[in-house]
Amino acid sequence: MSVVALLAACPGEEAISVTSSAAEVCVGATGTLDVSGRLGNDTLTVDTTSVRAALTGRGTPAPASDFRGFVNRVEYRSADGEPSFEFYCLREGPAEFRVRGFDLETEAITFERFPGLECIECGAVDPIGDFIDSISTQAATRREGVFDLVASFAKYTRDFDLRFADFQEALPCGQDDVDGLVLCSDDALASAADEEGFLHVTMKLAEPISRSSESTSLVYAAVLESDGDTANDWVAQPPFDWDLFQQTDRWYQVVYDHQADRWSLVVTQVEPGPPQTQTTVPSAARVVVDGQQISFLIPRGELSGAFPTVRMTSFGHGGMFLMRGADVSGSDPTEAPRAPDPA
């Protein structure tokens, strides 16, 4: 099913038609938006938190800077009409695009809205209620939907023209509004190499993540075997045979400390031992915490190996790590991290 809408045409003008390639697009996939007719002084806008993404012009005469970018409000005018755009679904949810009309004589502004486009989660499904403890023989003592993974997903954005400057502007560090909470590391890098793209990791939890809690601290992480060298991979220490981060050397952790009521992003590099060590490192990664979803955008250039693999983890505890529950992508934490989906 496609989404088609027509704007009423003034006499002598061609009606504008906006068509999306599909009514539903998977998170991490691209869709196409076609406009036929002249936009003229009108602008096409995408206004959504799920297609936080860019519209990338294809074969259009307009300067690229007019419409590309990792933003959710894109303005585009076309003297020649018939542009085609590509968009990227960042998060699950509805998307709406609209045409803003501007009458040069009366200066009146009108909006035509075209809902009906949905970004949907198509990643790997994880069972409900499959909580684990970091000791395999023990049962989780906390079992809450806010740390029960229900779906996860990892993909490179190489096929999509996403640039650091675009999401730096669209996702400013510390932004906390209806679009989500944006986290950067305390030692956030101001730039990242664009040519290698980003690793986009999304995890979906069974329940919406509250921005504040009086009883539960949380850790959500994308942990990677980043360099293909097993020598620096974290080795589980007894009795924690189900240590969530084993077999990985680089960790992107979203940490909520309920006692300090503080969210943070901590990026860690593991060095081989003995004793093995963990060093907090600067990073240009961005993370968005929004509803049931957490999206990580990790610059590919921060991962040194040719074939990084990733595991997604969630962990909840009461503050002393004694009452706790966890979940991981894959069957359990001893399963090797998996390769992201091909671009």
Q: Which amino acid is at 177?
A: D
Q: Which amino acid is at 318?
A: G
Q: Which amino acid is at 190?
A: A
Question: Cβ(117)–Cβ(226) under 8 Å?
Answer: no
| Residues in Cβ contact with 22 at an 8 Å cutoff, skipping those fewer than 6 apart | 1, 2, 31
* CA–CA distance, 309 with 247 (Å, rounded to integer): 10
Q: Which residue's CB is nearer to Ca ion, number 5 or number 236? A: 236
- Give least dist CB 130 to Ca ion, A: 5
Q: Which residue's CB is nearer to Ca ion, number 23 or number 336? A: 336
- Give least dist CB 273 to Ca ion, A: 13
Q: Which residue's CB is nearer to Ca ion, number 130 or number 159? A: 130
326 bridge partner residues: 132, 315
DSSP state of 107: -
- Give least dist CB 216 to Ca ion, A: 17
* CA–CA distance, 20 with 33 (Å, rounded to integer): 4
Q: Which residue's CB is nearer to Ca ion, number 86 or number 225? A: 225
- Give least dist CB 6 to Ca ion, A: 44
With CA atoms as reference, report the closest residue to 248 among 265, 263, 268, 266: 268
- Give least dist CB 339 to Ca ion, A: 14
- Give least dist CB 269 to Ca ion, A: 10
Binding region for Ca ion (CB under 5 A): 126, 130, 148-149, 227, 229, 232-233, 249, 327
Minimal CB distance residue for Ca ion: 249
* CA–CA distance, 21 with 31 (Å, rounded to integer): 6
Q: Which residue's CB is nearer to Ca ion, number 60 or number 269? A: 269
Q: Which residue's CB is nearer to Ca ion, number 180 or number 308? A: 308
